[in-house]
Amino acid sequence: MINIKEDKSLNILNHSCAHLMAQAIKRLYPEAKFWVGPVIDTGFYYDVDLGEKAIKEEDLPNVEREMKKISKDGKRIIREEVSKKEALEMFKDDEYKIDLINNMEEDSDITCYRQGEFVDLCRGPHVDTVKQIKNFKLLKVSGAYFKGDSKNKVMQRIYGVCFETPEDLTTYLDFLEEAKKRDHKKLGKELGLFMMSEYGPGFPFFLNNGMILRNELENFWYDEHTKEGYEFIKTPIMLNKDLWELSGHWYNYRENMYTSEIDEKTFAIKPMNCPGGMLVYKNSLHSYKDLPLRVGELGLVHRHEASGALNGLFRVRTFTQDDAHIFMMPSQIEQEVVRLIDFIDRMYSVFGLTYNIELSTRPEAKFIGNIEIWDKAEKVLADACHKAGRDCKINPGDGAFYGPKLDFHIKDSLGRVWQCGTIQLDMNLPERFDLTYVDSDGIKKRPVMLHRVIYGSIERFIGILIEHYAGAFPTWLAPVQVNVIPVNCNYHLEYASEVYNYLKENGIRTELDEREEKLGYKLRESVTKKIPISIIIGDKEKEEDLVSYRRYGSDKTYSVSKTMFVELLKNEIKDKRSKSKDSE
RNA sequence: GCCGAAAUAGCUCAACUGGUAGAGCAACUGACUUGUAAUCAGUAGGUUGUGGGUUCAAGUCCUAUUUUCGGCACCA
């Protein structure tokens, strides 16, 4: 996927296109007033105030037509420098531009760009003439708060995108189409993975196929974590309010927490697993010899997210974090983080996901602890990142109030980026819960704690995988791995059943299609359901004691013995391979 | 929560300015006995998200509400 903001010439072109759009809107809606029209990763937008009127989705073609007209006219785009006073005079009827100008420094050079009758306050640069702005598309309209503050009024935001060639535009629009086809909400329904209900907005129901996928992910997670020396716990969903006061959540996260009253006591459903994890740590005495102590929990949390934030499996109100808390001596942080980065790398590579790491540092205002410790902690994370052979981009001020963190941004098969894994240093909870370990000198000392997730949330990760694989999961994850299709049920059902039972006995998730339909019909359904392997059983297979199979997405057929087929498949599943090895 | 759009059969969708809901797929029944992406025929399936209202008449208009979608804000 392209990033328009980071491509210099595309950036300029898109910004000029935003001006062109504004000019067209001004022609069609003379009362329109404009706020800002920046370039974003996926194109540009412009925030517009149309007073009582509104531009609707169906009006966009009209605006596009006007834009084409202006583009054809081919006016030059002229840069003008004005003083602040002149600028205020020029835009005296436009409270938005006045707001912008007033926020500029007294002696700064203010530039405007003029094209025909339209002039806009802008830093530039722009393309030379509007003629160069040809291959664009307006994509959507939405509301957006003035200055991004939910206390302010809502303006209309109109999104578009522009390219240098018509081919590039088509490619991008095709990409959007492809992304739409992969929508996990659509595929989740079609493939019987999960459902939603009006009775539980934001609370997904997992169906049988979704559960198989989910269990595979969880099993994989447990296996890998066991190898990494983790131990596992399960802490309660609901705990007394007093605990949340102690952890600080009651004050910092109260409005997103579900609560329940019973026996005149308040209980809160956990929005995070850490406080429960703290109690487990405190349950026993810890020696420095036992550190780092790695404690994992697939923890079900509930968070009351704003209704408008909900989005399929990507944003839900209940989800399972693949959480773990690691308790260490301060001297162990770097080594442990390096180890974690390697671990996360191994987990992601199984799915064919690449990623970038970002370091989020101390927030400007709201943070606990002293700055020295923060600086040190940030340095440890950055060093660990480099030691692990990875670059990390700094994300200033984006850390949690209790510590800095490394965020893993994964890239899917369409090049889209998702935030999943995170490693967070916590300088708060060990203090609040008075955690200790006994050091070699017999003195109780404060451990350092790390929170970390790899999938992030299993629900969200499943959503990402659905879109990443377009619903065609690799064999190890596929709800149904093999579909056995007899060519003619009267003659081939017996041998087909034999093959089916043999696969079942070998732990392969298999279906037998014994309906009396034509092969083409049953095969089509196999493909529609995105089953990785379809086995066809007819006279030839029956006589020679073979299975013939083809894979999803290919029309090549291979014939092998039953035993060879099972061997091949078992290895493929064991290795969690995405690509098949059929050629031999 | 805010702005905008939408909700019709299990699924995907249709029904012009209000005139009393229809198709394909799926399901079921029967015929066909099938070799690599849809065999044919028939049957059944709906208080049009929910509650009010306007009207002789509402899927269609008004209103409230729920949910979903696209954004915004949020996501320590």
Q: List, for residues A289-305, the tens digit of each pLDDT value.
A: 999 999 999 999 999 99
Whether A583 shows a pLDDT value over 70: the answer reads no
What sign results for the dihedral spanned by CA atoms A307, A311, A315, A317? positive
In chain A, what's the furthest Cα-to-Cα distance? 93
Mean pLDDT estimate for chain A: 93
Least-confidence region, from A23-27, A95-99, A559-563: A95-99
Q: Which two tokens stand for residue A220?
A: 């994989």
**What is the percent of chain A where pLDDT is above 90?**
81
Query: Crossing angle for the helix pair A8-28 and A60-73, nearest 10 degrees?
Result: 110
State residue A369's pLDDT score: 80
Q: Which two tokens stand for residue A500?
A: 């089916």
Span A195-211, mean pLDDT? 96
**What is the percent of chain A where pLDDT is above 70?**
99
Statement: the CB of A142 is under 7 Å from strand B: yes
Chain B nucleotides with an atom closer than 7 Å to a protein C-beta:
1-5, 11-12, 31-39, 66-76
Q: Give per-residue burial for A161-171: e unless 16+ CB within 10 Å, then b.
A: bbbeeeeebee
Does residue A17 contact residue A162 with C-beta atoms inside 8 Å? yes
C1'-nearest nucleotide to the CA of A523: B37
Confidence of residue A564 (pLDDT cuts 50, 70, 90): very high
Whether A584 shows a pLDDT value over 60: the answer reads no
Task: Give yes or no for a cis peptide into A125 (omega within 30° of 0).
Answer: yes
Span A309-331, mean pLDDT? 96
Q: Tokens 């037509």 map to which residue?
A: A65
Cα–Cα distance measured from residue A228 to residue A225, given in angstroms and rounded to the nearest whole number: 5
Statement: the CB of A255 is under 7 Å from strand B: no
- What is the distance between the terminal CA atoms of chain A, rounded to a whole angstrom? 35
Note the pTM of the prediction, 2 decimals.
0.95
From residues 349-378 of A, list those within 7 angstroms of strand B by Cβ: 363, 366
Whether A255 shows a pLDDT value over 80: the answer reads yes
Cα–Cα distance measured from residue A66 to residue A61, given in angstroms and rounded to the nearest whole number: 9
Cα–Cα distance measured from residue A536 to residue A519, given in angstroms and rounded to the nearest whole number: 8
Residue A195 one-letter amino acid: M
Does residue A33 contact residue A23 with C-beta atoms inside 8 Å? no
Looking from the CA of A421 toward its CB, the CA atoms found within 13 Å total: 25
